[in-house]
Amino acid sequence: MTSKEMAENLTVIIPAYNEAASIEDTIRSIQNQTTPPREIIVVDDFSSDETGELAKSLGVSVLRPPKNTGTKAGAQNFALQQVDTKFSMAIDADTILAPDAIEKLIVVLEDEEVAAACGSVIPRYKNTLWERGRYIEYLFAFTFYKPIQDYYEKPLISSGCFSVYRTSNLKEQGGWSTRTMAEDMDLTWSFYAKGYKVRFVPGAVCYPIEPENFDFMKKQLKRWSHGFIQNVMLHSRDTSHLPVLRSMITIGVWDAVVASMAYLLLIPLLAIIFRNPIFLLGYIIDLPAVMVPPIIKGFERKELALTLSSIPSFFVLRTVNCLFVLEAVFSEVILRKRLTVYQKGH
């Protein structure tokens, strides 16, 4: 089956809550694909702006639940009931796709064992400190970590902003779960637990709008940190028979906790105890390791100057991230206080 034939059997679901500013770009980028999908469904999740009307004017199906579903997963599941195509795709309402993104991504689902696939993510705007920090984080992760994870057949997450699924597998899971704050991670690990494969396709690129200020960023970091810890606790048993995934999760948890504590406590403490500022080099000692993958990708994308000038922002974002990770561990593991309210932060 060619990718064009596969796309003719594809429904794209776009959950949207007050996305009037970005929904048009998202829909047009899907309609202008080299292999357009059979159907695009926008779930207007009880928006108070023009999201639904704008989507309708572009000729796509618009569903409006009787009340706000409360989560992205809830809105996606509302649309999933209507899907009768073999493949389903999730795209965020603030995300646009490269013109050949669907063509490149969907083809890996020819392998019947593959339940989901995701592409590369590059922030659409790179203006503020937070956007630039995220830009380097993504260049690093999607150039170095993710291809290695894919080689070992265990991409850690099929990103929620742009992923394709085999509809039967998705429905078998009950759609996107609302039991954690990271529905994409939950779904990916659930697929692995059932013995299915998930793939990463670097050439399929999407461009989401990343948090441009601290207010949005803190909501996203909180949701992601809590979502990660919730998934680790939820899937500790059903992923224990998968050595590669188990190792990645273990190392992820270790780094999230220990590296965060080292960043926020150990480094300044050592500098004070030994009265030696050399310990503060610990904050940037891995600068060379950070630089290599983004510089390679930045060069390929003809964005080398932007990449180099954005590297300092990454270190700020990383330090701030430590606070949210530790807060999530303390809250979810020690206090047993789960984050259950989904706060939109792009």
User: Which of 324, 286, 302 has the alpha carbon at shortest distance from 140?
Assistant: 286
Alpha carbon distances (Å) from 149 to 40, 66, 142, 227: 30, 40, 10, 20
268 binds other proteins (CB under 8 A): no
Binding segment for other proteins (CB under 8 A), chosen from 26-34, 43-51, 259-267, 328-336, is 259-267
Member of 287, 333, 340, 343 binding other proteins (CB under 8 A): 287
Amino acid at 60: V
User: With respect to other proteins, which residue has the nearer C-beta, 55 or 170?
Assistant: 170
**Residue 234 burial (CB < 10 Å; 0-12/13-18/19+)?**
middle
What angle is formed at CA 315 by the lines to CA 255 and CA 344, rounded to 5 degrees?
80
For residue 117, the cross-strand partners are 164, 199
Tell me the C-alpha distance between 211 and 126, whole Å. 10
By CB under 8 A, residue 224 contacts other proteins: yes
Q: Side chain identity at 250, as an amino acid letter?
A: T
Interface pattern 148-177 for other proteins (x via CB under 8 A): x-xxx---xx-xx-----------------
Stretch that binds other proteins, among 21-29, 122-130, 224-232, 329-337 (CB under 8 A): 224-232
Q: Could you tell me which stretch among 20-28, 51-59, 63-71, 134-142 binds other proteins (CB under 8 A)?
A: 134-142
Helices (H), the chain: 3-7, 23-31, 51-57, 72-80, 101-106, 129-140, 146-151, 167-172, 183-193, 214-235, 243-254, 260-261, 267-273, 287-300, 304-329
CB of 263 to other proteins, least distance (A): 7
* Residue at token pair 């779904």: 187
Instruction: Report if residue 263 touches other proteins, rule: CB under 8 A.
Output: yes
**Residue choice 176, 321, 332, 346 for contact with other proteins (CB under 8 A):** 321
8 Å CB contact between 182 and 224:
yes
Of the candidate residues 256, 311, 326, 339, the single one contacting other proteins (CB under 8 A): 256
Q: Is 292 in the site for other proteins (CB under 8 A)?
A: yes
Q: Which residue's CB is nearer to other proteins, number 167 or number 188?
A: 188
Q: Which residues contact 330 (CB under 8 A, 6 or more apart)?
A: none
In this complex, which beta carbon is closest to other proteins, that of residue 126 or of residue 154? 154
Contact between 141 and other proteins by CB under 8 A: the answer reads yes
Q: How many residues bind other proteins (CB under 8 A)?
A: 66
For other proteins, the binding residue among 286, 299, 337, 343 (CB under 8 A) is 286
Q: 17 or 324: whose CB is closer to other proteins?
A: 324
CA proximity to 32, closest of 99, 78, 86, 81: 99
Q: Rule CB under 8 A: is residue 243 a binding residue for other proteins? A: yes
Q: Distance between CA 131 and CA 136 in Å, rounded?
A: 9
| Nearest Cα residue to 19 out of 96, 77, 117, 83 | 96
| Residue from the set 184, 210, 303, 332 that interacts with other proteins by CB under 8 A | 184
Q: What is the DSSP string of 65-89?
A: -SS--SSHHHHHHHHHTT--SSEEE
Least Cβ distance, residue 47 to other proteins (angstroms): 24
Q: Which residues bind other proteins (CB under 8 A)?
A: 137-138, 140-141, 143-145, 147-148, 150-152, 156-157, 159-160, 182, 184-185, 193-196, 224, 227-228, 236-238, 240-241, 243, 246-256, 258-260, 262-263, 274, 276, 278, 281, 285-293, 296, 318, 321-322, 325
